[in-house]
Amino acid sequence: MQPANFVELLRHQSQHQPNRTAFIFLKDGEAEAGRVTYHQLNQQAQAIAAYLQTQVKPGDRALLVYPYEAGLDFIAAFLGCLYAGVVAVPCHPPRNRFGWSDLQARLVDSQAAIGLTTRGLAAKLTAQLSSSATTTPLNWCTTEAILLTQADRWVKPSIEGETLAFLQYTSGSTGAPKGVLIPHTSILHNQQMLQQAFGHTSDSIGVGWLPLFHDMGLIGNALQAIYLGTSCVLMSPIAFIQKPVRWLQAISRYQATTSGAPNFAYDLLCRQVTQAQQQTLDLSCWNLAFSGAEPVRLETIERFVHKFAPCGFQRSAFYPCYGMAEATLFVTGGDKGKPLAVAHVQETALEENRVVLAQPNDRGVRTMVGCGRAWLDHQIVIADPQSCTVCPPQTVGEIWVTGSGLGRGYWQQPEATNCTFHAYLTDTGDGPFLRTGDLGFWQDGHLFITGRLKDVLVFWGFNHYPEAIERTVTACHPGFHEHGAAAFAISVNGDDRLVVVQEIERQYRDRLPIGDVVESIRWALFQEHFLDVYAIALLKPGSLPKTPSGKIQRHLCRKKFLNQELEVLDEWQSDDNRPSDIHSLIHYYLNPLTHLYRYLALSKGRFRRILRSFVRS
């Protein structure tokens, strides 16, 4: 029988398999630092909940701030909040002034009544977080100091399916983070979808390094293991970044069946795992390698399969999927073990929100990987974001989702909640839908994601996806980090102008002056996208603003660029007095005449459309 809430679920696991290992945490990604059984996990949760019941009321919010290395403490604290009927607010441990500012914002926004952390972090949190923005100073509890004997004092609270379990703050990739209301029903529904889509069984074993304060790490790794009653091996994301092979070594050592990450992590493994390290790996056990949270790239999949096939990795294990905080986590995924869905579409058609299939080797083609379909009672429509009507086939539109596993809105933001979570189609009246803010299309029963609605750039009436611009820039020099570019627009003299920022690989940090790459970038952007660039900035390695899951925070990049807060190694800016219209672009790039012939040969169709726009203007 399906449990009514997550508390009942964990209690069931602790009663029926008390001695089974629930979690293992690897210190530095290698040596075991701790194990916890389902009985111990239930006892820890009850003890923390008993303490909370003496300090706060059901429904109060509790900030959870734990170092990456305290994964088991975080899980116990999160479950303790559920057991007490307290609303957990997972937060990332602040590592710089922006992190402290974000934590302060969550403290104020959530109106937290208590904070849960470790001994090592408590004093710093108390000193750094200003209490002036709250009505009373926040009491910080170090959960490892709570005695397990307090578990006997726990009183089971009244928890219904719609009882609020936690606030899941959005990544902030397109704006200020907002707290999504996640009830117990949504958690359980998402867990059921993950189990079915991933083909999980009671014998599945997971390995994860994704941050537990992020939906992918918390819902997809930790809570899925509890839902299944299986074991999961965890490590710090810092341990992975420092030595990426540790992820694969853990999979090999524990014979994990399921593990995954954003696309950039697979690229990192391709670049950094040595041949000697490969020879120690057995990845034949890994039958589901999910990839989500950022665009899934076919070239990454091909490189990874080619490199790790000798270790037993199977191409059929790759599992592209799509999700978001507002949907609790999971939105779409394919059928496990089936071939990847791949679409080759014309870039110029995408600029007009049309889907025109092409051959892989055609010029101006964008190769995309499908992210599967909806599961259980979830339904997806592609809607016109302006008219709110269903888009015709072969058209790009906004992805709208409905179903039981979605969040219930934004914490104390009724207007944003109504706009995002309560959308109705004007032509059919169907709804309510969650407006994801993502753009995509259907092809052969698979959802393809083209980009974020708020990120799409418009120059001279044509849409441009920043991901495509960023790929073009990154390909201009071997010293450019493959996932380290951001493209955005700023206003200059009343016109929108393109800015690109690009991270430099460490080995090129001191030997790549901006003058060596400006013209190659400018010509590549003109040649591929018919765009002029206003400013180019080369950034220090690792300094491009990203979310914990690796999404590029383009809006934050733009803000930091305007405020001169980016860690810039070198930069270039065009003459402010040069006109920014299409006339000057054509004059600049198509002189001498040979450049015109070159561009006409590359993109006749786009040039004709541009010239028509020019004549009409």
Residues 6+ apart with CB under 8 A from 16: 229
Q: Which pairing describes strands 318-323 and 330-333: parallel, antiparallel, or unpaired?
A: antiparallel
pLDDT-based confidence at residue 154 (cuts at 50, 70, 90): very high
pLDDT-based confidence at residue 134 (cuts at 50, 70, 90): low
Peptide bond into 432 cis (omega under 30): yes
Residues 6+ apart with CB under 8 A from 97: none
| pLDDT per position as a tens digit, 408-422 | 999 999 999 999 999
Which tokens hold the place of 206?
């997971």
- Greater confidence, 459 or 565? 565
Whole-number Å distance between alpha carbons of 437 and 287: 32
Q: Which CATH number fits domain 256-450: 3.40.50.2300, 3.40.50.720, 3.40.50.620, 3.40.50.12780?
A: 3.40.50.12780
Whole-number Å distance between alpha carbons of 221 and 233: 9
Q: What is the pTM of this model?
A: 0.81
- Greater confidence, 481 or 88? 88
Whole-number Å distance between alpha carbons of 383 and 176: 25
pLDDT-based confidence at residue 605 (cuts at 50, 70, 90): very low
- Tabulate helix, strand, coil % of the chain (nearest 5): 40, 25, 35
- 539 strand-pairing partners: 503, 568
Give the closest residue to 9 by CA, choosing from 178, 155, 227, 267. 227
Task: Identify the pLDDT of residue 597.
Answer: 38
Task: Identify the pLDDT of residue 457.
Answer: 83
Give the closest residue to 548 by CA, choosing from 109, 213, 110. 213
The residue assigned the tokens 């170090």 is 142
Give the closest residue to 88 by CA, choosing from 67, 118, 108, 115. 115
pLDDT-based confidence at residue 617 (cuts at 50, 70, 90): very low
| pLDDT per position as a tens digit, 307-326 | 999 999 999 999 999 999 99
Task: Identify the pLDDT of residue 173.
Answer: 53
The residue type found at 513 is: P
Structural class in CATH, domain 6-242: alpha beta
| pLDDT per position as a tens digit, 9-24 | 999 999 999 999 999 9
Please check the confidence at residue 247 and state whether its pLDDT lies above 90: yes
Same fold yes or no, 6-242 and 256-450 = yes
| pLDDT per position as a tens digit, 520-574 | 898 888 878 778 899 999 999 989 988 776 778 888 899 899 999 999 999 999 8
Burial class (CB in 10 A: 0-12, 13-18, 19+), 32: exposed
Longest dimension (CA), the chain: 84
Task: Identify the pLDDT of residue 583.
Answer: 45
Domain ranges of the chain: 6-242, 256-450, 457-581
Task: Identify the pLDDT of residue 128.
Answer: 84
Task: Identify the pLDDT of residue 404.
Answer: 94
Mean pLDDT of 107-125: 93
Mean pLDDT of 197-216: 94
Looking at domain 457-581, its CATH architecture is: 2-Layer Sandwich (3.30)
Q: Are 26 and 209 in contact (CB under 8 A)?
A: no
Helix (H, G, I), strand (E, B) or coil at 332: strand
Mean pLDDT of 374-392: 96
SS3 readout for 233-287: EEECHHHHHHCCHHHHHHHHHHCCCEEEECHHHHHHHHHHCCHHHHCCCCCCCCC
Please check the confidence at residue 174 and state whether its pLDDT lies above 80: no
Q: Are 67 and 120 in contact (CB under 8 A)?
A: yes
Task: Identify the pLDDT of residue 576.
Answer: 53
